[in-house]
Every structure is written in structure tokens, then in C-alpha cells.
A = this chain, B = another copy of it.
């Protein structure tokens, strides 16, 4: 772990622009960006295939208890596949953060890097109107269906995060900084995160 690396983790509500903001942030700071790119690193390091990592990516499975029973509680080589995917991503996140400065979106990155004091953990929210509009455009859905999509997707993200980390997804106390991107716009949100990063690093 190098304390000189700049590491920013971004949690985000669906449709809040977390991914775009993360990409803009990485570009402004001239550092690497990881979102789905993380899956390739996890696949390379763990030996799990990308398709499996993709299909379990940030998704809680209803078969978790069943998997535990099937595993006989050994948590060994028979570890349920969803746990293997989480651990592969967990390792990949630490590998990436050790390698150099980066922005990592989602995947409990703030938890995986809990003891990294050089990390800024950010959470992006937005108004339902703005989030639904964004998802409606991206996924070609009506506004009502987009709202439904946002709520279901966020419920999955919260379940996944809370289960694996024991923390509260989207709760202010979980992060260094939380910003509503609908009120500020993406550019301003990036500026505010960089200000906060500079303040934290200058202490």
C-alpha cells in the first residue's frame, strides 16, 4: 500500500451519474478509472471466468442460504460462487489500489480499502426525477418504468453492500463525502470532490 496514491471510491444511487462523475474525475486527475474494468482484473487474478464475474457483479443471490448449506459451512474450496466473486473483486480492488492512483466505482471498494488512509470515499445521490430521466434515456424506458428500475436496482445494491460489509449503504456515516449531483450538476460535483480530496490530503 502506498500512501502517495490518490484513491477515490464512489458509491452511487442508480441514475445519479456516479459512473460519469467517476470517469470525469479520473480524467481530470489523470489517474486510472475502474468500473466494469475491475472484472477483467478480478478474472485475471482469480482464475474465475469473466462471464461468471459479470453475472454475479454487485448482485445478491436469493440462493445464499442454500449455497451455505450445500457448502456444509466449510467456507473452503466449495465456497458459494457469489462469495468467490465477492472475494475475487475484493482482492482485485486492493491489487489495483496498491498499484497506483485510481477511481473505483461500486463493488464495496470503500470497504475493501477500509484501512487505506489515503482513500476518499464518496457517495453520489440524486433527485428521483433526475435519476429516472437519466435511466429512461439510457435504457429506453418510460419515466414510470425507469423509476421502478431505479428503486429495484438500488435495493439490490443496498442488500449486496450491507450483507458483505456490515455497514449501511447510502448512509452519510459510511462515507467521507456525499453529494446530490442533481442540484450541482456533474462538473460541479467533480470540482467539489477534488476540493475535498485536496483538503483531506493537506491535513
On A, residues with C-beta under 8 Å from B are 13, 123, 125, 170-173, 175-180, 183-185, 188, 191-192, 195-196, 199-200, 203
Determine if B123 and A172 form an interchain contact, defined as CB atoms under 8 angstroms apart.
yes
Determine if A200 and B183 form an interchain contact, defined as CB atoms under 8 angstroms apart.
yes
Copies of this chain, how many?
A: 2
Residue on B with the closest CB to A184?
A: B199
- Contact among B173, B180, B203 with A177 in the assembled complex (CB-CB below 8 Å): B180
Determine if A184 and B200 form an interchain contact, defined as CB atoms under 8 angstroms apart.
yes
Determine if B184 and A203 form an interchain contact, defined as CB atoms under 8 angstroms apart.
yes
- Contact among B125, B195, B200, B203 with A173 in the assembled complex (CB-CB below 8 Å): B125
User: Min CB distance, A168 to chain B, in Å?
Assistant: 8
Residue on B with the closest CB to A196?
A: B192
User: Min CB distance, A9 to chain B, in Å?
Assistant: 14
A123 to B192, CA, bound (A): 16
In the complex, chain B residues whose CB is within 8 Å of the CB of A199:
184-185, 188, 191-192
Residue on B with the closest CB to A182?
A: B176
- Contact among B172, B177, B185, B188 with A171 in the assembled complex (CB-CB below 8 Å): B172
In the complex, chain B residues whose CB is within 8 Å of the CB of A177:
177-180
Determine if B203 and A185 form an interchain contact, defined as CB atoms under 8 angstroms apart.
yes
In the complex, chain B residues whose CB is within 8 Å of the CB of A125:
172-173
Determine if A175 and B176 form an interchain contact, defined as CB atoms under 8 angstroms apart.
no
In the complex, chain B residues whose CB is within 8 Å of the CB of A192:
192, 195-196, 199
A195 to B195, CA, bound (A): 9
